[in-house]
Chains A and B, each alone.
Chain A
Amino acid sequence: MPSYVVMQPTTLCNLDCRYCYLPFRAEDRRMPVEVAQAVAADVNRWAALGRFSVVWHGGEPMAAGREHLGALMAPFSADVEHHVQTNATLIDDRWCDFFAERQIRVSVSVDGPPERNGDRVDRAGRAGYPKIMKGISALKRHGLPFAALCVVTDPKAGQAAGLYHFFVDLGCDVLGINIEEKEGVNDRENSYRSADVRAFWQELTEVWRKAPQIHLREIEWTLRYVQAVLDGQEGELLPRQLDPIPTVGHDGSVLLLSPELAGFTAPGYGDFSSGNVLHAPLSRLLTDPLGTPWVAEFVQGVEACRSRCPYFGFCGGGHAANRFFEHGRFDGTETEHCRNSKISLLEGVLDHARRA
């Protein structure tokens, strides 16, 4: 039984960020209510047994409009938690009321101060930053807490401190840092000097330690592993079997791993889906994840990581979409994403601890 599902209410995004991986972000391919009803049939049962979240992810979920997003949420029981990952540009008082009425948890995508948001633009090339901040101001005006996700395109020493202070001032309670990834339609290089990336994470750890009021996702992940190693329990941190987290695309197709693969096809892999909730219950699609050939190939890749990478206990094996978009298949091992966001992260935190 999963504990959350990712839903794509529309492929459309009103921004056109230069590093975005989504292939159909200029098209409004909306999820029919029938898809939400089909998902809810299983999710409502699971939510009655334990905490369960539906994460509305895009495109830009709010580009579906309040009426449609509300209609998609309607089939879910009151036990289900709703989360929205948004670029914040469409948030206004009415959206804040919508969030508050449904107790929706909001996470905004913003890359730091204005000069760090140059990639977050609309289709005319206009900066998204003013609208992003206007939307965040609405959240704050309504007293709605929010998380933030930040893409870092130039990880190196000197970049982290100002970035972290921005988010402290912004008032988010949780922050996730994504070093830019080469995925989907984003083919920009993400090969950075490891010393630079490591210095970025070291600096971020240092500045966070001085003002740790934000739950900084990467630091928490790292410290969780470090604690387990010191307790001699690092082998207990990762589950020992496949634990898919399904993504339901706008058309009802289900991907068991990596939402970034939604909307893509490739010879030998098809559309990466394991079925469609309009044709089979979600619970049934989850019963045999290894029956999807590329998932089995991915698991082989994970085992290859386990057998050769000293960071495996921390990482658990490279992310499926990174493997595919960097290597063209799923059974390769180390990716740039591994180096930037796992290896250099752990090493940066260790560098900080040793030098503090």
Chain B
Amino acid sequence: MPEELDRVTVRIRSARVELTALLDEARTARAGRAEAPSADNTAVCAWNHFENIPTFFNWNNRPR
């Protein structure tokens, strides 16, 4: 990837320690909400089915 296009990922990696702490807390929070990557019966809402699927058009093409 050209250097200019890589600048965001470089900055993310440079904050690994701080972000890892945040990610750990988010993972614990998800468990507290009884959410799991494959769970389909929790976080009951109009969004959770497709919002939890990390696909291009789910992210870009959501209804509002």
* A51 CB within 8 Å of chain B: yes
- Using known A-B contacts A239-B55, A243-B56, A315-B59, determine if residue A53 contacts B16 with beta carbons closer than 8 Å: no
| In contact, B44 and A105 (Cβ under 8 angstroms) | yes
| In contact, B59 and A83 (Cβ under 8 angstroms) | no
Contact of B64 among A145, A172, A178, A239 (CB under 8 A): A178
Q: Taking chain A's interface residues, is the majority helix, strand, or loop, or is none over half, making it mixed? A: mixed
| In contact, A174 and B61 (Cβ under 8 angstroms) | no
- Write out the residue numbers on chain B whose beta carbons fall within 8 Å of the beta carbon of A239: 55-57
| In contact, A106 and B19 (Cβ under 8 angstroms) | no
| In contact, A242 and B57 (Cβ under 8 angstroms) | yes
- Using known A-B contacts A227-B23, A319-B61, A320-B60, determine if residue A147 contacts B53 with beta carbons closer than 8 Å: no
Contact of B35 among A215, A229, A259, A310 (CB under 8 A): A215
* A350 CB within 8 Å of chain B: yes
* A257 CB within 8 Å of chain B: yes
- Using known A-B contacts A105-B46, A176-B47, A314-B8, determine if residue A6 contacts B63 with beta carbons closer than 8 Å: yes
- Write out the residue numbers on chain B whose beta carbons fall within 8 Å of the beta carbon of A44: none
| In contact, A310 and B49 (Cβ under 8 angstroms) | no
- Write out the residue numbers on chain B whose beta carbons fall within 8 Å of the beta carbon of A181: 64
Per-residue contact bits, chain B 9-31, to A (CB 8 Å; 1 contact, 0 not): 10111011011111101100110
Whole-angstrom distance between the alpha carbons of A9 and B56 in the complex? 26
| In contact, A310 and B45 (Cβ under 8 angstroms) | no
Which residues of B, 35-63, contact A by the 8 Å Cβ criterion?
A: 35, 40, 43-61, 63
| In contact, B46 and A311 (Cβ under 8 angstroms) | no
| In contact, B46 and A85 (Cβ under 8 angstroms) | yes
B55 CB, min distance to chain A CBs, angstroms = 5
Q: Taking chain B's interface residues, is the majority helix, strand, or loop, or is none over half, making it mixed? A: helix
| In contact, B63 and A353 (Cβ under 8 angstroms) | no
- Using known A-B contacts A55-B46, A219-B26, A353-B18, determine if residue A237 contacts B35 with beta carbons closer than 8 Å: no
How many of chain A's residues touch chain B, expressed as a range?
A: 35 or more
* A217 CB within 8 Å of chain B: yes
- Write out the residue numbers on chain A whose beta carbons fall within 8 Å of the beta carbon of B60: 257, 315-320
| In contact, B55 and A243 (Cβ under 8 angstroms) | yes
Whole-angstrom distance between the alpha carbons of A209 and B26 in the complex? 8
- Write out the residue numbers on chain B whose beta carbons fall within 8 Å of the beta carbon of A105: 44-46, 48
4 interchain residue pairs of minimum CB distance: A147-B45, A107-B46, A212-B29, A83-B46
A selection of 24 A-B contacts at a CB cut-off of 8 Å is: A3-B50, A6-B63, A55-B46, A85-B63, A147-B48, A149-B47, A176-B51, A215-B35, A220-B51, A220-B52, A224-B54, A230-B19, A238-B59, A239-B56, A243-B56, A257-B57, A257-B60, A259-B61, A315-B59, A315-B60, A316-B59, A319-B60, A354-B18, A356-B21
- Residues of B bordering A, CB below 8 Å: 4-9, 11-13, 15-16, 18-23, 25-26, 29-30, 32-33, 35, 40, 43-61, 63-64
